[in-house]
Structure 1
Amino acid sequence: MLEVAPDSPLRQAALEVERHVAEAGWDQPPRLFALVSTEQLRESHPELADQLDGDYTPVEQEQLGVDRPVEEILPTIMWPETVDGCAVVIERVMLPPSAEADLPEDPDELGAYVAAHPDRQEVRIVAAVLRDGSGHTGVRARDGEDPPLLEGPDLVPGLVELLRASMS
């Protein structure tokens, strides 16, 4: 694992979410998680105390649906005060920066261009934020047996900003 960010409770929660989603393999719909204080969960559910660790416990939410892009759904979500943060996991296809100049403007042509591009790379992105504005992202390519997870606070800044907006 390539670490490019200091360890933190948020990073650990994001890594836990990424491991959990990775267990189900690829070709999954977007998945959304509330990040709740583990201490708060232990107090409200003492029967779960032995099963909980870490500072934040990810709680998976209902399926986001596939009728609209996750980037349109996230701005409509407002979390209750009992939620300390949130995380989303999405799969996307990325192209190298060199392909940007040749991208067609027509959305239908764009999809076909990306799908056929020889240098396209499928990736799984996990982005997580807390109410204090801190964020952590991880990107793993769909490559080989155990591709590294690239990490940092703003690897996918647009997605992080959408999550931050849902926390305000």
Structure 2
Amino acid sequence: MEDPLLATAVTEAEQFAAGAGWDRPAQLFALVATAELLADQPDMAGHLDATSHYTPIAQEELPEGELSEALANIAWPAAVVGCIVVQEIVVLPPSAEGELSQDATEAAEQAAAHPERTEARLAVGVLRSGGAACLMRLRGEHEETPLRGADLAPNLVEALSLTFED
């Protein structure tokens, strides 16, 4: 089950990323407790929604290459209670899986060129204490109705969760 407070933060991060348009690199956000952020930095009060439980903070651009490799090198300070990644993906119908190469690079190229592909923006968030939320916005005619659920991207949820392990 999706954590509703985290789901709100995931939506905020996805909307922020969407403001830059499509065809963008993956973006990483640190999640901090809004009340703690405002207590530490009261001058931010005019810039934050004090009613939000979490505030997503955009991080520096991720290095080029595999997202999993970039995430494997991340460690968060104690003040970070969660994180979110927003990335663009290609979604294929289940019937296309058998057509893809076993080589990951080649499979990605095949998926990008597949006639039945759908491009999407995937936002996945996790909390240090456990819990996940995911949002997937399909590009095109269904853009206004994103898909939601904690289990949309289990591998990415696991990779993000690992960034909080010692």
User: Is residue 63–residue 70 contact of structure 2 (8 Å, CA) maintained in 1?
Assistant: no
Q: What SS class does the counterpart of residue 51 from structure 1 fall into?
A: coil
Q: 1:79 to 1:108 in 2, by over 3 A?
A: closer
**What does the per-residue CA deviation read over 1:113-150, in whole Å, with 9 as the maximum and x for residues that have no partner?**
22321111111100001111100001111113743110
**What does the per-residue CA deviation read over 1:5-35, in whole Å, with 9 as the maximum and x for residues that have no partner?**
6662111100100111111110111100000
Cα shift at 1:37: 0.7
**What does the per-residue CA deviation read over 1:50-101, in whole Å, with 9 as the maximum and x for residues that have no partner?**
32220111111100022x2112111211111110100000111121111111
Q: 1:103 aligns with which of 100, 103, 108?
A: 100
**TM-score normalised by length of structure 2:** 0.91
Q: How many residues align?
A: 163
Q: 1:143 to 1:44 in 2, by over 3 A?
A: same
1:63 is aligned to 61
Q: 1:72 to 1:153 in 2, by over 3 A?
A: same
Structure 1 outlier segments of 4+, above 3 Å: 106-109
1:28 aligns with 2:39: no
Gap regions ≥5 residues in structure 2? none
Give the Cα separation in 2 of the matches to 1:87 and 1:108. Answer: 25
User: Is residue 3–residue 131 contact of structure 2 (8 Å, CA) maintained in 1?
Assistant: no
Q: 1:147 to 1:118 in 2, by over 3 A?
A: farther
Q: Percent identity at matched positions?
A: 44
**TM-score normalised by length of structure 1:** 0.90
1:130 is aligned to 127
Q: 1:61 to 1:29 in 2, by over 3 A?
A: same
User: Is residue 2–residue 133 contact of structure 2 (8 Å, CA) maintained in 1?
Assistant: no
1:151 is aligned to 148
1:94 aligns with 2:94: no
Q: 1:163 to 1:47 in 2, by over 3 A?
A: same
Give the Cα separation in 2 of the matches to 1:38 and 1:106. Answer: 43
The letter of the residue matching 1:47 is D
Give the Cα separation in 1 of the matches to 2:158 and 2:4. Answer: 19
User: Is residue 30–residue 89 contact of structure 1 (8 Å, CA) maintained in 2?
Assistant: yes
RMSD: 1.7
Gap regions ≥5 residues in structure 1? none
